[in-house]
């Protein structure tokens, strides 16, 4: 159900944005000299004031400061996100205001190769694109924003997938993992007991998850339940204080902390927790893990024995189960036996090897990625309409010029090519600016995450496809304007003025 408030706010925001967008054009319209306005086909010269550059520089500096405060200012999650978002918007606006100064060099960069391929039509298209740098920059701005966001999301997702893959390869010491088929549910606790009895299985270790609040603090922390006797056989733990031998001495009132939970936690410290089940419990820290710096499975919170998870947190089912085969066991036969048993008694769970675990994680990331792509596609569609309108206006202003081209021998096909290449150059200007911004944001955001094991990865294929897609979008946007330009009547075009 859509609330009336949603409709009212949407209309109000749309109206406000439209009015704000009209302020600068309205101001410029009032400054046109009447005698110049009487000249048919007259176009105003592009503005070259220093005020634009000053405002652009200030916005970029303020945006950079906002991003730095959001990343390193020690703010909470919501506050940091708001500061980052405000800084990113300021940087976008600053680059958009500065972009008219970048139109000529970027047009030369992307237009020279087109000129070599298309000849004179490519040169005319490049010169038309830089005739009014401010208009070209504004047209490319919408595409710049969309490409920047897509590039940032693609780079971040690629780095996340790569980081998770490395963490699985480094930490997963088992042979199989038993998980719910949906990827989001839990597996019954009886699964571990049944699998443990299959011939060829050496170790079985269950993992559970819950949350708790440390008494005296506002935020909650994640709590992971493990089997202390078997976890070391199936998962490689990293220790800051303690070792795998600490697991064997872990009692019912003991707990492990992670450095990602708090740098001040030390061995021997007593922690009072309010569990998700509403119980107030007390544990003694017997070891400190170093999982939080490597995308570890147990990173960022507290670790307790599964026996305490059931009693104190009411977490009685497993999130997943690690398996390790016995030495010399037939891996394929053992897995078939496990799969057969699960299909009969627990049809909602399945086994996954290391590659399948990584593929599942990548699949979950891709699902979110595709959703974001679908939303960002709307900004690309808006930018296409902007290119269409700009080209249509440009053709109207150059009616006599196009008539002269036809009169001296230019064919309709050549006129279409000029318009198409102009659209391609405009699109590539927006794409390259957006690509640079997307890479810059990815570099900035990845810096604090590097301590958590995040490794930045650049998907070159995706980024190149993004640039090619922008060029194709320019061609698509130019179809109607190019057809209109080619169908101009030569005599009427020459008599335009």
Q: What token pair was written down for 27?
A: 């101001």
Section 443-456 average pLDDT: 73
Per-residue confidence (pLDDT) for residue 385, from 0 to 100: 83
Q: Alpha carbon 11 to chain centroid distance?
A: 28
Q: Which residue matches tokens 């208009």?
A: 135
Give 106: exposed, middle or buried? Use CB within 10 Å, 0-12, 13-18, 19+.
buried
Q: pLDDT tens-digit profile of 97-111?
A: 888 888 888 888 888
Please tell me which of 75-84, 125-134, 355-364, 417-426 the model is most confident about, judged by mean pLDDT.
417-426
The pTM of the full predicted model, rounded to 2 decimals, is 0.76
Return the closest-CA partner of residue 323 out of 243, 249, 227.
227
Q: pLDDT tens-digit profile of 205-237?
A: 999 988 888 887 777 888 888 898 888 888 888
Q: Across all residues in the chain, what is the average pLDDT?
A: 82
Per-residue confidence (pLDDT) for residue 377, from 0 to 100: 80
Q: pLDDT tens-digit profile of 237-278?
A: 888 888 888 888 888 888 888 876 656 677 888 888 898 888
CA angle 254, 261, 222 (to 5 degrees): 75
Q: Report in angstroms the alpha-carbon separations of 243 from 174, 231, 240, 293.
A: 19, 12, 8, 17
What SS3 class is residue 223? Answer: strand
User: Per-residue confidence at 148, pLDDT binned at 50, 70, 90?
Assistant: confident
Cα distance between residue 52 and residue 496, in whole Å: 35
User: Per-residue confidence at 333, pLDDT binned at 50, 70, 90?
Assistant: very high
Return the closest-CA partner of residue 476 out of 443, 427, 435.
427
Per-residue confidence (pLDDT) for residue 263, from 0 to 100: 62
Per-residue confidence (pLDDT) for residue 78, from 0 to 100: 57
Secondary structure string (H, E, C) spanning 351-372:
EECHHHHHHHHHHHHHHHHHHH
Per-residue confidence (pLDDT) for residue 373, from 0 to 100: 82
**Has residue 43 got a pLDDT over 80?**
no
Q: What token pair was written down for 310?
A: 């059931």
Secondary structure string (H, E, C) spanning 262-292:
CCCCCCCCEEEEEECCCCEEEEEEEEEECCC
What phi and psi values does residue 274 have, to the nearest 5 degrees? -110, 110
User: Per-residue confidence at 204, pLDDT binned at 50, 70, 90?
Assistant: very high
What SS3 class is residue 63? Answer: helix
Q: Count the Cβ atoms, other than its own, within 10 Å of residue 347.
A: 9
Per-residue confidence (pLDDT) for residue 292, from 0 to 100: 54
Q: Which residue matches tokens 């897995």?
A: 335
Q: Pairing relation of β-strands 239-241 and 320-325?
A: unpaired
């Amino acid at each position: 159900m859509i609330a009336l408030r949603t409709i009212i706010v949407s209309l109000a925001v749309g109206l406000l944005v439209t009015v704000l967008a009209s302020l600068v054009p309205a101001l410029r319209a009032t400054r046109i000299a009447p005698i110049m306005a009487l000249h048919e086909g007259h176009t105003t010269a592009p503005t070259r004031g220093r005020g634009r550059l000053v405002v652009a520089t200030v916005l970029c500096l303020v945006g950079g400061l906002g991003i730095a405060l959001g990343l390193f200012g020690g703010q909470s999650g919501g506050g940091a996100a708001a500061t980052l978002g405000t800084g990113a918007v300021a940087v976008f606006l600053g680059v958009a205001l500065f972009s008219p100064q970048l139109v000529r060099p970027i047009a030369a960069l992307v237009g020279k190769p087109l000129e070599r391929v298309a000849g004179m039509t490519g040169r005319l298209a490049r010169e038309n694109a830089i005739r009014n740098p401010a208009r070209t920059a504004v047209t490319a701005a919408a595409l710049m924003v969309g490409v920047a966001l897509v590039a940032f999301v693609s780079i971040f997702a690629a780095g996340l997938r790569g980081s998770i893959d490395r963490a699985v390869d480094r930490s997963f010491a088992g042979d199989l993992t038993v998980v719910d088929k949906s990827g989001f549910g839990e597996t019954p606790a009886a699964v571990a007991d049944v699998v443990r009895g299959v011939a060829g299985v050496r170790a079985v270790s269950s993992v559970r998850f819950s949350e708790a609040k440390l008494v005296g603090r506002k935020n909650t922390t994640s709590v992971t339940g493990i089997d202390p006797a078997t976890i070391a056989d199936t998962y490689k733990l990293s220790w800051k204080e303690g070792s795998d031998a600490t697991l064997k001495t872990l009692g019912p009132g003991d707990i492990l902390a992670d450095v990602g939970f708090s740098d001040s936690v030390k061995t021997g410290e007593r922690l009072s927790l309010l569990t998700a089940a509403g119980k107030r419990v007390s544990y003694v820290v017997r070891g400190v893990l170093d999982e939080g710096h490597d995308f570890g499975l147990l990173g960022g919170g507290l670790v307790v024995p599964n026996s305490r998870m059931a009693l104190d947190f009411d977490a009685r089912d497993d999130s997943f189960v690690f398996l390790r085969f016995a030495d010399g066991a037939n891996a394929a036969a053992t897995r078939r036996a496990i799969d057969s048993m699960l299909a009969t008694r627990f049809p909602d769970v399945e086994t996954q090897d290391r590659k399948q675990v990584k593929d599942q994680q990548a699949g979950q990331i891709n699902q979110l990625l595709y959703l974001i792509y679908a939303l960002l596609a709307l900004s690309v569609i808006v930018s296409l309409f902007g290119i269409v309108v700009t080209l249509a206006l440009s053709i109207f202003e150059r009616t006599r010029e196009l008539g002269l081209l036809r009169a001296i021998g230019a064919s309709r096909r050549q006129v279409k090519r000029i318009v198409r290449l102009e659209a391609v150059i405009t699109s590539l200007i927006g794409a390259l600016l957006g690509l640079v911004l997307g890479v810059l944001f990815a570099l900035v955001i990845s810096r604090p995450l590097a301590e958590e094991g995040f490794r930045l990865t650049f998907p070159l294929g995706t980024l190149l496809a993004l640039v090619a897609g922008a060029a194709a979008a320019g061609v698509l946007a130019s179809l109607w304007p190019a057809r209109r330009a080619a169908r101009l009547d030569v005599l009427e075009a020459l008599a335009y003025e």
